[in-house]
Structures are given as structure tokens and as C-alpha cells.
Amino acid sequence: MQVMEQWAPAAAAEEWDQVGLQVGDPSAPAGKAWTALELDDACLEAALTAGVQMLLVHHPPLFKPLSSLRGDRPETARLIKAATAEMAIFAAHTNLDSAPGGVNDVLGRRLGLGELTPLTPGRNGGLVKLVVFTPPEALDQVSAALFAAGAGRIGGYSECSFAAVGVGSFRAPSDGHPYLGNPGEKELVEELRLEVHTTATAAPRVLAALKQAHPYEEPAVDVYPLTQSPPGFGLGRVGELPAPVEARHFARRAAAELKAGWAHLGGAPPKRISRVAVVGGSGGDMLPAAAASGAHLLITGEASHHAAQQAADLGLGILCLGHYQTEVVIVEPWAARLGRELTALGLDCTIEPYTGGVDPWHPVAHKEE
């Protein structure tokens, strides 16, 4: 959960979304975990048979408020079964769409796009700046504790901090045990002002780690809320093809790459395209953003009839390749990234992708087979 919070923090999810741990105990072991697009009967049975202790899914199984938790209703029976088996279920939805290296970055790269940038800015807020004052000789141990707790990440960079030299003053109580100086006497000491970023969700854990590592009895700490969105976050992506290509040819190639059983091209794309926007899942409402970005084509999973009309009015194309097909691309890279990061942390955990999922929609043949 800590690694996921560093990569795709809950605060990056849309306000209406439901993300994070949905079933299970956060202190339970997770020695074997799977990533999957969603929880269905086949996925659940396979995970239980394999002894999976934590299932990370893109589609939250708990999305709308429940009025009951019944074993005779499939959507809640699965949750009961997982909880009974003590298998945790964790959801990363629009926060994983928005995060660098998430659904839309993977989708864009799969389709051959380069120079990918967010189509719309990420949600503002959710970040804090933590400032602490420390003696120079304690800088390394305090910094290491902050980084180990998840602070100091900016985009793909880790262990980011800033330190400036200054003079601090204090008077310890007569019964105190100051790290520097004497009880009851005013002291002026050289200190470093150390600054790091972290998420608001992780801040309590980071503060606890700081107090454990800091040599002072009462370290001075400031926590400032930040209003900007995290660097690189945002819904959708827009990028460039290596060279202009005929629109219908690219549409056929994209459908083949994602193994889309059906594909629909609408709107009014130019005959040759070079700039393409992608939105995994349902992204028809992002047509204005795609047009504003200069995209010739928006690729998404599904969109309405009126979205095709709107695309024509805006002067670009829209290509629908299936909700499942445009999001399942994340499952294997998700497992690979988690595996690398957990290994780097020295944690003993096996992460595998669940590749047995199927599209719930099936094309119908025009003639009898």
C-alpha cells in the first residue's frame, strides 16, 4: 500500500472515485499478490486457489454505496468470500489512470506514441511540504528516515530534498534533556532547514518516522499543504507518432495491437494523422481537451453516439477499441513495477499479473458460423 501511495496516491483519484484498500486488514501479510483489471468469479477463484493474499485491481469492486452484504448476490458474495479467506483487495482506479507510468502512459506507448504528456492536468492538492530543522550531523539519518517512509518523491525521482543553513534559537526547560546546550539556558546553534514533499495521506507515517530518527526532544516541524498537482499527473495522454500515417491504416493497426474484437472510427479525422490522444476506458467526454491539444485523433475504449458527432464538429476523429482492451494493458506492467520496487526495498513478496481476464462484450458474427 505504501509503494502504491508513492506511485499513484489516493489524492490523485477523481473526487467521485473509490480507491485504496477495500477489503482486508492493512497489517495482514501480503507475501503473494496479483494485479488484475477487475474482480470477477474467475479471477477470485484463481486467486484463492493460488494462495494470493492481496489482489490489486483497477476497477473498484466497492464503487457505489452498499445497502446490504449478501451471499446470494454475486457482487457482494465475492467480497464476502475474499474477506472470509483473509484475502485483501486494493483498488487503484483514476489515480492509476493519472499517474506517470500508469494506464494512459502504457496505452500510449503500446500504440507507438512518443513525447507523451497529460491531456488534462491532475487534481490539485493532496501534496504537502514537510519542513524540519536539524543539526548538520543528523542530516543523513533524518533524511534516510523520511525517504524510507515515502517522502521525497517528485515524479520519477526519489530521495529529493533541499537543505539550507541557518541559526536556530531555543531555551530548554530546566528539567529537559536537550541534544545541544544546557537545560534552562538560551542557545544559538547552527541548524539545517530540511524540506521534502510527501502526500497528505502518507504525512502521518512520515512524521512518525521523523520523530523516531530526530535527535531533538522536540523537533520543530512545519507541514504546508500544496495546491499544485503532482508533476506528470493528469488524465489521458497526448503524443506524437514517429511519422504521419493514414488515419484508417493507423486505426486498423491500433485495433490489431490491442486485439480489439471490434473497433469503431468516428468523427472527422484528417486523412493523415500524427498527433494522437489516448484515454483508457470511457473517454468520450475528453474530446474538447483532445481538440485543444491539437490531436488529430482520440483513442478511447467507449463513447456515446453524440461523442462521434461532437468529434466531427471539433474536427478530429475518435477511435473506440473497447473499455477492456484499453485498460487491461496495465496489468502486466503494474506487476512488473511493483515487483521491482518491493525488491529494491528488500521486501519478500511475489507479484504476478492475472492474465485470465476476458472482455465481457463479444462481437456478433454477421452470418452463421
One-letter identity of residue 193: R
| Nine cell digits for residue 274 | 500524427
Give tens-digit pLDDT for 306-345: 999 999 999 999 999 999 999 999 999 999 999 999 999 8
Give tens-digit pLDDT for 30-57: 999 999 999 999 999 999 999 999 999 9
Give tens-digit pLDDT for 169-193: 989 898 888 888 888 889 899 999 9
When pLDDT is cut at 50, 70 and 90, the band that residue 69 belongs to is: very high
Q: For the chain, which domains are there?
A: 2-95+328-353 (3.40.1390.30), 98-122+234-327 (3.40.1390.30), 127-226 (3.30.70.120)
- Which residue matches cell numbers 539556558? 185
Of 176 and 146, the one with more pLDDT:
146
Rg (CA), the chain: 25
Q: Closest Cα to residue 338, out of 18, 35, 30, 24? A: 35
What pLDDT does 368 receive? 66
Are 2 and 82 contacting, i.e. CB atoms less than 8 angstroms apart? no
When pLDDT is cut at 50, 70 and 90, the band that residue 8 belongs to is: very high
Residue 271 has pLDDT above 90, yes or no: yes
Of 369 and 227, the one with more pLDDT:
227
What pLDDT does 181 receive? 85
Alpha carbon 162 to its chain centroid, in Å, reads: 25
Give tens-digit pLDDT for 198-221: 988 889 999 999 999 999 988 999
CA distances from 5 to 99, 123, 152, 227 (A): 11, 15, 13, 18
When pLDDT is cut at 50, 70 and 90, the band that residue 113 belongs to is: very high
What residues have CB less than 8 Å from 133, skipping those under 6 apart?
Answer: 166, 168, 191, 192, 193, 194, 219, 220
Average pLDDT on 272-301 reads: 97
Q: Closest Cα to residue 170, out of 207, 221, 218, 131? A: 218
Do the strands 237-246 and 272-282 form a parallel or antiparallel pair, or are they unpaired? antiparallel
Count other C-beta atoms under 10 Å from residue 131's C-beta. 15
- The H or E element containing residue 90 is strand 88-91
When pLDDT is cut at 50, 70 and 90, the band that residue 86 belongs to is: very high
| Nine cell digits for residue 43 | 479471477
Count other C-beta atoms under 10 Å from residue 62's C-beta. 17
What residues have CB less than 8 Å from 294, skipping those under 6 apart?
Answer: 238, 275
Give tens-digit pLDDT for 336-368: 999 999 999 899 999 999 999 999 998 887 666
What residues have CB less than 8 Å from 317, skipping those under 6 apart?
Answer: 247, 265, 266, 267, 268, 269, 273, 296, 297, 298, 311
What pLDDT does 155 receive? 73
Residue 60 has pLDDT above 90, yes or no: yes
Give tens-digit pLDDT for 216-239: 988 999 999 998 878 889 999 999
